[in-house]
Chain A
Amino acid sequence: MTDVSSVSANMSSLPANASSASANMSSVSASANTSSVSANMIEVSGLTKAFSGGTLAVGGLDLTFEAGRRHAVIGPNGAGKTTLLNLIAGELRPTAGRIRYNGRDVTRTSRVKRSRLGIARTFQQPTVWSTLSVADNIALAAWPHSKVRGKWRRGRYRSLSESCERYLETAGITALASRPAGALAHGERRMLDIGMALAADPRVLLLDEPAAGLTDQGVERLLTAMRALPEEVTVVVVEHDFAFVAAIADTVTVLQDGKLLATGTPTEIAADAAVRTAYLGESGAVPDAVEEVV
């Protein structure tokens, strides 16, 4: 399990060819796994996003992400994975369809409000406030979610900052605390981005390709951080790296051309013929990592 990065290199080079895959879609229905006791944390129905120029990034998607579980969303490039995250986080407004969060309709809720309701996210391109220090980045990310009053005062802010030290530790960037975030290397910046998402004390954590560009060590740390997350936090990870997905996910959702292709446990997905054809390539040659999981 330690040699994940080399596997991910293999995976990403797979052809994303999937023309005749939808035939088998009903074989893996979205409701197959919803028999568990936990409530649906995120529920999207008929979710559609069309961009100017007519590109349909997400087309009539029906999905549920159960509370307290680790979900992964995979699929070839252009499948609509990041768009789905952006729609859930409120960065984008859907063209049609509804999004429910914890039983509440948030389709038209602003991203600020959604963040305050407990949806936190990281970005494909790690996004930080570059002129501020790493510690300040974490503290400002925690700010809207902290119950401390009067944070604009120096003393209160300092105590907020101190209470955030554990996120620095979790992300493994304690040593960088006083560096300006703009001066960080790519991997460090990604860990900071994740630390910022954790600092928001989320109920739903949306991670957009968190392992991309990380060293082995970084991936290891990321996995540790994710395992250390409280049970009740719902995690949705968009990821190319199937090995990584297999290592953390309870359920895997496969998207293709903005539509749902399959849902299941990593094992089921790895074994699914339609997924193999669509995502893993015509040849059906399954990389070691997948076999290992199976």
Chain B
Amino acid sequence: MAASKEDDTISITVEFSGGLEMLFSNERKLPLSIPAKDDTGARTNVAYLVNYLCENAMKDPKKELFVLDGTVRPGILVLINDADWELEGEEKYEVQEGDNILFVSTLHGG
């Protein structure tokens, strides 16, 4: 609704489910302020966010449980504002002020 407080950051909410929260100090919900643009001046997309989370929010050293080959590892679903990120352009989706981005690890128990 309102413009972001500072033009150079955007405020979003990142959430983790299905066990991924254990990689992020058991936080299921993370309010975040991230740069609005990356180093090249391009607008921040989900690929940037994933890398940002890995470097700034993830406490667990086992990065490969979240990122593999430069992208979110297989078995993790990314949901942007309650929809499969495939519907939004996957990694290239440009993050908007107020977005909710949920990372869900697929479960296998039964």
> Do A and B make up one complex?
no
Q: Chain A residues in contact with chain B, CB under 8 A?
A: none
Chain B residues near A (Cβ < 8 Å):
none
